[in-house]
Protein backbone atom coordinates (compact mmCIF):
# COMPACT_ATOMS: atom_id res chain seq x y z
CA UNK A 1 0.00 0.00 0.00
CA UNK A 2 1.09 3.55 -0.68
CA UNK A 3 0.67 6.61 1.48
CA UNK A 4 1.37 10.21 0.46
CA UNK A 5 3.69 12.21 2.70
CA UNK A 6 3.79 16.02 2.73
CA UNK A 7 6.93 17.67 1.38
CA UNK A 8 8.45 20.70 3.06
CA UNK A 9 8.16 24.03 1.22
CA UNK A 10 11.81 23.76 0.10
CA UNK A 11 11.33 20.18 -1.14
CA UNK A 12 8.20 21.22 -3.04
CA UNK A 13 10.12 23.98 -4.82
CA UNK A 14 12.83 21.50 -5.83
CA UNK A 15 10.22 19.06 -7.16
CA UNK A 16 8.56 21.78 -9.26
CA UNK A 17 11.94 22.90 -10.61
CA UNK A 18 12.79 19.33 -11.59
CA UNK A 19 9.37 18.87 -13.20
CA UNK A 20 9.88 22.06 -15.21
CA UNK A 21 13.36 21.04 -16.38
CA UNK A 22 12.03 17.66 -17.54
CA UNK A 23 8.76 19.05 -18.96
CA UNK A 24 7.18 16.45 -16.72
CA UNK A 25 4.19 14.43 -17.83
CA UNK A 26 1.18 15.33 -15.68
CA UNK A 27 -1.97 13.24 -15.31
CA UNK A 28 -4.90 15.52 -14.50
CA UNK A 29 -8.26 14.45 -13.07
CA UNK A 30 -10.68 17.42 -13.05
CA UNK A 31 -13.60 17.38 -10.62
CA UNK A 32 -16.58 17.23 -10.47
CA UNK A 33 -16.16 16.15 -14.10
CA UNK A 34 -15.70 12.36 -14.20
CA UNK A 35 -13.47 11.01 -16.94
CA UNK A 36 -12.74 7.36 -17.70
CA UNK A 37 -9.10 8.35 -18.27
CA UNK A 38 -7.23 11.43 -17.04
CA UNK A 39 -6.10 14.32 -19.19
CA UNK A 40 -2.37 14.27 -19.87
CA UNK A 41 -0.13 17.27 -20.34
CA UNK A 42 3.46 18.47 -20.20
CA UNK A 43 4.55 21.13 -17.73
CA UNK A 44 5.55 24.05 -19.95
CA UNK A 45 6.35 26.79 -17.44
CA UNK A 46 5.99 27.67 -13.78
CA UNK A 47 5.03 31.20 -12.84
CA UNK A 48 4.72 32.78 -9.42
CA UNK A 49 1.10 31.80 -8.93
CA UNK A 50 0.41 29.20 -11.61
CA UNK A 51 1.67 26.28 -13.68
CA UNK A 52 1.22 26.31 -17.46
CA UNK A 53 0.42 22.86 -18.85
CA UNK A 54 0.26 21.96 -22.54
CA UNK A 55 -2.36 19.25 -23.05
CA UNK A 56 -1.03 16.33 -25.07
CA UNK A 57 -3.75 13.72 -24.50
CA UNK A 58 -7.47 14.29 -24.10
CA UNK A 59 -9.09 10.84 -24.29
CA UNK A 60 -12.54 12.16 -23.41
CA UNK A 61 -12.32 15.01 -25.95
CA UNK A 62 -13.18 17.49 -23.20
CA UNK A 63 -13.27 21.15 -24.18
CA UNK A 64 -10.62 22.95 -22.08
CA UNK A 65 -13.01 25.87 -21.61
CA UNK A 66 -15.41 23.65 -19.64
CA UNK A 67 -12.65 23.00 -17.08
CA UNK A 68 -12.35 26.62 -15.95
CA UNK A 69 -12.64 26.71 -12.17
CA UNK A 70 -12.51 22.93 -11.75
CA UNK A 71 -10.34 21.52 -8.98
CA UNK A 72 -7.94 18.88 -10.27
CA UNK A 73 -6.02 16.01 -8.73
CA UNK A 74 -2.61 15.90 -10.44
CA UNK A 75 -0.01 13.10 -10.52
CA UNK A 76 3.50 12.99 -11.96
CA UNK A 77 6.47 10.63 -11.88
CA UNK A 78 9.96 12.07 -11.32
CA UNK A 79 13.06 9.90 -10.84
CA UNK A 80 10.86 6.91 -10.08
CA UNK A 81 8.85 8.74 -7.38
CA UNK A 82 5.14 9.48 -7.60
CA UNK A 83 4.15 13.03 -6.62
CA UNK A 84 0.59 14.25 -6.03
CA UNK A 85 -1.07 17.63 -5.61
CA UNK A 86 -4.38 19.39 -6.11
CA UNK A 87 -4.82 22.62 -8.07
CA UNK A 88 -7.64 24.66 -9.64
CA UNK A 89 -7.88 25.50 -13.34
CA UNK A 90 -7.36 29.29 -13.51
CA UNK A 91 -7.38 29.65 -17.29
CA UNK A 92 -7.99 27.37 -20.27
CA UNK A 93 -7.19 28.06 -23.91
CA UNK A 94 -8.43 26.19 -26.97
CA UNK A 95 -6.71 25.87 -30.33
CA UNK A 96 -4.21 23.51 -31.97
CA UNK A 97 -2.14 23.53 -28.77
CA UNK A 98 -4.60 23.64 -25.85
CA UNK A 99 -3.23 24.81 -22.51
CA UNK A 100 -4.33 24.94 -18.90
CA UNK A 101 -3.11 27.33 -16.24
CA UNK A 102 -3.28 25.56 -12.91
CA UNK A 103 -2.94 27.32 -9.58
CA UNK A 104 0.51 26.77 -8.13
CA UNK A 105 0.07 24.07 -5.47
CA UNK A 106 0.54 25.04 -1.84
CA UNK A 107 1.26 21.42 -0.88
CA UNK A 108 2.84 18.49 -2.70
CA UNK A 109 2.91 14.91 -1.50
CA UNK A 110 5.27 12.06 -2.36
CA UNK A 111 3.98 8.48 -2.34
CA UNK A 112 5.74 6.07 -0.02
CA UNK A 113 5.15 2.54 1.19
CA UNK A 114 3.19 2.11 4.38
CA UNK A 115 5.12 1.18 7.47
CA UNK A 116 2.53 -1.21 8.84
CA UNK A 117 0.70 -4.15 7.29
CA UNK A 118 -3.05 -3.73 6.94
CA UNK A 119 -5.87 -6.07 7.86
CA UNK A 120 -8.98 -6.63 5.77
CA UNK A 121 -12.21 -6.79 7.82
CA UNK A 122 -14.17 -10.03 7.44
CA UNK A 123 -17.49 -8.16 7.66
CA UNK A 124 -18.84 -4.76 6.65
CA UNK A 125 -17.44 -1.96 8.81
CA UNK A 126 -18.91 1.49 8.07
CA UNK A 127 -16.86 4.63 8.62
CA UNK A 128 -18.13 8.21 8.84
CA UNK A 129 -15.93 10.84 7.21
CA UNK A 130 -16.44 14.24 8.82
CA UNK A 131 -15.21 16.94 6.45
CA UNK A 132 -14.82 20.53 7.71
CA UNK A 133 -17.50 22.73 6.17
CA UNK A 134 -19.60 19.82 4.87
CA UNK A 135 -23.29 19.81 5.74
CA UNK A 136 -23.23 16.19 6.84
CA UNK A 137 -20.73 13.32 7.16
CA UNK A 138 -19.88 11.07 4.25
CA UNK A 139 -20.39 7.34 4.80
CA UNK A 140 -18.01 4.73 3.38
CA UNK A 141 -16.96 1.17 4.15
CA UNK A 142 -13.57 0.20 5.57
CA UNK A 143 -11.60 -2.06 3.23
CA UNK A 144 -8.39 -2.34 5.26
CA UNK A 145 -7.08 -1.09 8.57
CA UNK A 146 -3.68 -0.73 10.23
CA UNK A 147 -1.95 1.06 13.08
CA UNK A 148 -1.20 3.99 10.77
CA UNK A 149 -4.38 4.44 8.75
CA UNK A 150 -7.25 2.87 6.87
CA UNK A 151 -8.64 2.36 3.40
CA UNK A 152 -12.31 2.77 2.57
CA UNK A 153 -14.58 3.00 -0.43
CA UNK A 154 -17.89 4.61 -1.27
CA UNK A 155 -19.88 6.30 -4.08
CA UNK A 156 -17.35 7.94 -6.38
CA UNK A 157 -19.25 11.12 -7.18
CA UNK A 158 -20.03 11.93 -3.56
CA UNK A 159 -16.52 11.23 -2.24
CA UNK A 160 -14.55 12.65 -5.16
CA UNK A 161 -16.40 15.98 -5.10
CA UNK A 162 -15.71 16.46 -1.39
CA UNK A 163 -12.31 14.91 -0.64
CA UNK A 164 -9.03 16.35 -1.89
CA UNK A 165 -5.63 14.77 -1.46
CA UNK A 166 -4.04 16.41 1.56
CA UNK A 167 -7.37 17.30 3.20
CA UNK A 168 -7.55 17.00 6.99
CA UNK A 169 -10.75 15.25 8.10
CA UNK A 170 -12.14 13.24 11.03
CA UNK A 171 -12.99 9.54 10.78
CA UNK A 172 -15.42 7.78 13.08
CA UNK A 173 -15.96 4.02 13.24
CA UNK A 174 -16.51 1.03 15.51
CA UNK A 175 -14.85 -2.38 15.18
CA UNK A 176 -17.07 -5.50 15.38
CA UNK A 177 -14.93 -7.08 18.11
CA UNK A 178 -14.45 -3.98 20.31
CA UNK A 179 -17.31 -1.91 21.88
CA UNK A 180 -15.56 1.42 21.35
CA UNK A 181 -16.22 4.29 18.96
CA UNK A 182 -12.97 5.63 17.48
CA UNK A 183 -12.90 9.22 16.28
CA UNK A 184 -9.55 10.22 14.83
CA UNK A 185 -8.11 13.01 12.67
CA UNK A 186 -6.80 11.74 9.35
CA UNK A 187 -5.21 12.97 6.13
CA UNK A 188 -6.51 12.02 2.68
CA UNK A 189 -3.51 10.31 1.03
CA UNK A 190 -4.73 8.44 -2.05
CA UNK A 191 -7.80 8.28 -4.28
CA UNK A 192 -8.45 5.70 -6.99
CA UNK A 193 -11.61 4.93 -8.93
CA UNK A 194 -12.91 1.37 -9.07
CA UNK A 195 -12.70 -0.44 -12.46
CA UNK A 196 -16.37 0.30 -13.16
CA UNK A 197 -15.83 3.99 -12.23
CA UNK A 198 -18.79 3.96 -9.79
CA UNK A 199 -16.85 3.79 -6.51
CA UNK A 200 -13.83 5.58 -5.10
CA UNK A 201 -11.13 3.93 -3.01
CA UNK A 202 -9.68 6.37 -0.48
CA UNK A 203 -6.51 5.92 1.57
CA UNK A 204 -6.34 7.77 4.90
CA UNK A 205 -3.43 8.22 7.30
CA UNK A 206 -4.14 8.89 10.97
CA UNK A 207 -2.81 12.28 12.11
CA UNK A 208 -3.27 12.50 15.87
CA UNK A 209 -1.94 15.86 17.12
CA UNK A 210 -3.62 16.41 20.50
CA UNK A 211 -3.73 14.38 23.69
CA UNK A 212 -7.29 13.08 23.18
CA UNK A 213 -6.71 11.85 19.63
CA UNK A 214 -3.33 10.35 20.54
CA UNK A 215 -4.97 8.42 23.37
CA UNK A 216 -7.69 7.17 21.02
CA UNK A 217 -5.10 6.13 18.46
CA UNK A 218 -3.06 4.23 21.05
CA UNK A 219 -6.22 2.44 22.17
CA UNK A 220 -6.97 1.46 18.58
CA UNK A 221 -3.43 0.21 18.06
CA UNK A 222 -3.64 -1.87 21.22
CA UNK A 223 -6.91 -3.43 20.08
CA UNK A 224 -5.46 -4.19 16.63
CA UNK A 225 -2.30 -5.69 18.12
CA UNK A 226 -4.30 -7.88 20.51
CA UNK A 227 -6.63 -9.09 17.75
CA UNK A 228 -3.68 -9.86 15.47
CA UNK A 229 -2.00 -11.85 18.23
CA UNK A 230 -5.24 -13.72 18.91
CA UNK A 231 -5.50 -14.70 15.25
CA UNK A 232 -1.88 -15.83 15.22
CA UNK A 233 -2.47 -17.91 18.36
CA UNK A 234 -5.50 -19.57 16.77
CA UNK A 235 -3.57 -20.34 13.62
CA UNK A 236 -0.72 -21.75 15.66
CA UNK A 237 -3.10 -24.08 17.50
CA UNK A 238 -4.48 -25.49 14.25
CA UNK A 239 -3.11 -29.01 13.57
**Statement to judge: residues 150 and 81 lie in one domain:** no
Q: Are 140 and 153 in contact (CB under 8 A)?
A: yes
Nearest alpha carbon to residue 193 among 160, 168, 164, 149: 160
Q: Are 12 and 37 in contact (CB under 8 A)?
A: no
**Statement to judge: residues 95 and 135 lie in one domain:** no
pLDDT number for residue 40: 93
Q: Which residues have a Cβ under 8 Å from the Cβ of 77 and sit 6 or more positions away? A: 24, 25, 83
pLDDT number for residue 27: 92
- Show the CA angle centred on residue 105, arms to residues 101 and 108, nearest 5°: 135
**Statement to judge: residues 105 and 149 lie in one domain:** no
**Statement to judge: residues 79 and 139 lie in one domain:** no
pLDDT number for residue 5: 67
Nearest alpha carbon to residue 83 among 194, 204, 210, 190: 190
Phi-psi category of 69—alpha, beta or left, where left has phi over 0 and alpha has psi -120 to 50? left
DSSP letter for 9, please: H
Q: Which residues have a Cβ under 8 Å from the Cβ of 121 and sit 6 or more positions away? A: 142, 143, 144, 145, 176
pLDDT number for residue 155: 92
pLDDT number for residue 227: 60
Nearest alpha carbon to residue 75 among 108, 47, 45: 108
**Statement to judge: residues 95 and 130 lie in one domain:** no
Domain boundary among 112, 140, 165: 112
Domain that holds residue 179: 114-237
Q: Could you write out the DSSP letters of every residue in 47-107?
A: -SSEEEEEEEE-TT---GGGGTT-EEEEEEEETTEEEEEEEEEEEEE-SSS-EEEEEPPS-
Q: For the chain, how big is the Rg over CA atoms in Å?
A: 20
**Statement to judge: residues 80 and 118 lie in one domain:** no
pLDDT number for residue 140: 94
CATH number, domain with residue 125? 2.40.10.220
**Predicted structure pTM score:** 0.51
**Statement to judge: residues 166 and 84 lie in one domain:** no
pLDDT number for residue 121: 54
Domain boundary among 65, 86, 112: 112
CATH number, domain with residue 89? 2.30.110.10
**Statement to judge: residues 123 and 231 lie in one domain:** yes
**Statement to judge: residues 124 and 225 lie in one domain:** yes
Structural domain total, the chain: 2
Domain boundary among 86, 112, 138: 112
**Statement to judge: residues 180 and 201 lie in one domain:** yes
**Statement to judge: residues 123 and 227 lie in one domain:** yes
CA distance 18 to 110: 14
pLDDT number for residue 1: 40
pLDDT number for residue 123: 62
pLDDT along the chain (239 residues), means of 10: 66 90 92 77 92 90 88 87 90 90 89 50 80 89 87 91 88 82 90 86 88 87 68 41
Amino acid sequence: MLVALDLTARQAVRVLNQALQEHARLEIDPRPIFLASPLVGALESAERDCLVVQLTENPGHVSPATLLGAMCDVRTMLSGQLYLFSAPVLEATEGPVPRLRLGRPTAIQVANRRQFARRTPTETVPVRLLVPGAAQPLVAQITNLSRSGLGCHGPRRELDETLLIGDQIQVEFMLPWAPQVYRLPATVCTKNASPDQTRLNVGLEFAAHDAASRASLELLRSVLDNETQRLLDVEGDTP
